[in-house]
Structure 1
Amino acid sequence: MQWTDEGIIIGTRRHGETSLIVELMTAEHGRHLGMVRGGRSRKQQPLLQPGNSVTATWRARLDEHLGNFTLEATTQRAALLMESQSGLYGVQILGALVRLLPERDPHAQVYAALEAILGWLGKPVAGGALIVRFEVLMLEELGFGLDLHQCAATGVTEDLAYVSPKSGRAVSRSAGEPWRDRMLPLPGFLRETPVETPASGDIVDAFRLTGYFLDRHVYGPRGMEPPDARERFVALVARSDAARLAGA
């Protein structure tokens, strides 16, 4: 068995004294693991870091085997990601989200989104807006998509201000006003094609929204906790808003 594909490294773990098991998100073969012999060598270590993009060739005698990877770097961004807290936390969040997908199950849209986001993680606000959109995509890919484009009560598509915590559907400002204390705020940027970076306060609200549904549908039923990096990243976004207000 053999294939070649584009991939992004999302994690590694030791295997024996000299090798690594590398976890990739690939364009056509989904989340896939394989062993890299000699992966702990000084020569290989800079390549085998989360956030780097590679061309991967996987070989195994049988499809169900772990198999071996041969990896060639295409974009080495890991060193730059590790220079900032937001880059470090961001790549950890994305890796944890991708691991929610079944292994070897293709998700081309997830791969494309991951590739697009990685270059922005060093900027907490811009990167945060993209990560939270990625969480919306992950909910959809996992079968728990949110309906953020039409009011659940009236069917209107304008002035959508809330999301029902029960249905995951948007609610207009007028229809939701009597129950606003029970609703989740819907930041407008989640419904629009991004044209500029949203306010950091809106991004924090968006993380609260996606976090609620991830806890309800994914982490809770699986007996899991959200990655610690997520809370730390959201704190970075909130601090950037406080700094902006202090300087205004």
Structure 2
Amino acid sequence: MNTMRKAFWLAKLELDVSKKHYLLLLFIAGIYSFFFYLTMPPYLEDNIFLLDAFLIIYIGSLSFSIKPKNFQYQKMDDGLYASPYVAMLNQLPIKRNVLVASRFILPYLSILIGITIVLVGTYFFSAELQSAIEPLPMIALIIIWLCISFSIGGIFPASDPGDQIKRFTFFWSYMIIIVFFVGMYLIFQVWLDTGFFKWTIQLANDFTILSIIMSILIACLVMWYWFNHAMKQIQKNDYLQ
């Protein structure tokens, strides 16, 4: 508890600098809500892949859209990419587990706000989505997507302590992203003949409680992995080289 209390205190310092960026978050959430409202009827009927792709892109943007430039992951030295803010705090008498824990608080807060606004807003205005899922399973659907978003979005705060970027690192990173989207298309659109978001609607409808439990368990495991990855990186990197 003491670790989390100190982590929240560190996150509050960053929040004071990032307040205006939350207005940008609300603006982005509003745009995506409108987009999903427009595309939901044809998506539920024809499984349009574009909605699934933009939903994943939206999730990825939430973790860093609220970060001022000096807090963002960027090149610091030859081959070292990290957050200058983390590098600075690492020189102070702050326990590393506190520092690492603090990196996840604001990104996850932005995910909580952003996903909730988009899904609740789309559900409120889309009669088609209301027909596809009842209010109680809709709560399960929101929890499922929060867990998916925490799992995917955790890669960004986990990267803040830094990585040694080699010659082809960015190339392989882009290749992984391409393979991810191609794989998602083949699995859901071709094999299962449905959309990813539509598939989660079916899970929430048919296995409401089980889907909540499994989503939370998987998200906890993935977040634990991201936290431990960040701890290893902050111990390994030399920010004074």
TM-score, normalised relative to structure 1: 0.28
Hey, which of these two has a bigger chunk of helix by percent? 2
Hey, which of these two has a bigger chunk of strand by percent? 1
Q: Which has the higher contact order (CA 8 A, sep 6+)?
A: 2
